[in-house]
Amino acid sequence: MRFAAYEHHHRQRVAVVEADGTLLPLPDVTSLTDLLTETGGLPGLLAAGREVLDAPPGPHVREVRLLAPLRPASVRDFVTFEEHVEGVRRSVEGTGGVPEQWYAAPTFYFANPHAVHGHRDGIPVPPGSAALDFELEVGAVIGREGRDLTPEEARDHIVGYTVFNDWSARDLQSAEMRVGLGPCKGKDTATTLGPYLVTADELEPYRDSEGFLRLALTAVINGQVVGEDLLSHMSWTFEEMTAYASRGTRVVPGDVLGSGTCGNGGCLAELWGLRGEQTPPPLKPGDTVALTVEGIGTLANTVVPGVEPVPLPTGRRRDRERPSTTRVGPSR
């Protein structure tokens, strides 16, 4: 089953999406995140969807503005494609190879849940950046709360999947990662999710013998294919990623876990690292990026101009000795 969030006649709704694109609105539901919390997982979500299958149809997807399928409770973006790590390290960090520590656990960082965009939304150039990039990923959506899960338990906590574009300002990212804390403003302006949430049961036929989803991934810029890969080239399954995310904490309904960017042209930075030059060039206003994931759909966005950065001073340097006491009080 497929679910969409959309805006029509200034109202936000959630609907089941039929095969021909007709929307079947769920009565009084305006947030898929809230619905996941109320239904408690995949069986409850499917039951809510079945209730509207015989209801009068709503508008077609062509007649509405599709929103991101859900407003995430949190966004963990993993790095699970070995080929991507190698190419981007060469481009962004100026080093080669894959760190041995990368193989120890499925590393992730927290992305900004307040900067989520939907299908066909304009994506602004991040302030101060001249090296905007896309990243082709798949996002797993959590439907049930869990803690310290095993991978086997985690499967029942994944309610569905969506296409995930982790927009990245590579010049900002390269500069800030020299501090040693990982990406921050280089990833802060936009993440796109959509066009739909596809429930996990629909993708089970694509699962291989090792537990990976064998889905074809394609990245297109302005009609030109720049990347193709398989989701099954991940080094960890989504169940293993979910188990790791839940270690010592909770995953909750509405959490999104990004697969990390695929290889073989899943982003421009990987190609820049392999080729030693920015070919294709960084994204600019007017460029349209379309990311297609087999079994889920196509997520397309056009880059639009951003704003100029608000100027800030550089950090203050200490040019005096520390006082001999740690006591803090009023100066005299």
Can you point out the beta strands (E) in 231-320? 250-251, 256-258, 288-293, 297-304
pLDDT digits (tens, 9 = 90+) for 233-286: 999 999 999 999 999 999 999 999 999 999 999 999 999 988 889 999 999 999
pLDDT digits (tens, 9 = 90+) for 69-84: 999 999 999 999 999 9
For position 86, what pLDDT does the model report?
Answer: 86
Predicted TM-score (pTM) of the model is 0.94
pLDDT, average across residues 90-97? 74
CATH for 75-304 is 3.90.850.10
Domain boundaries in the chain? 2-67, 75-304
pLDDT digits (tens, 9 = 90+) for 153-162: 999 999 999 9
Q: Is 126 exposed, middle or buried (0-12, 13-18, 19+ CB in 10 A)?
A: buried
Strand partners, 216: 230
Helix, strand or coil, per DSSP, at residue 252: coil
The Cα angle at residue 188 between residues 313 and 223, in degrees rounded to 5? 125
Measured in whole angstroms, how far is the alpha carbon of residue 293 from the centre of its chain?
A: 13
Q: What percent of the chain has pLDDT over 70?
A: 96
Q: How far apart are CA 23 and CA 224, in angstroms?
A: 31
Q: How far apart are CA 243 and CA 240, in angstroms?
A: 5
206 has a pLDDT exceeding 80: yes
326 has a pLDDT exceeding 90: no
- Look up residue 53 and give its two tokens: 């299958």
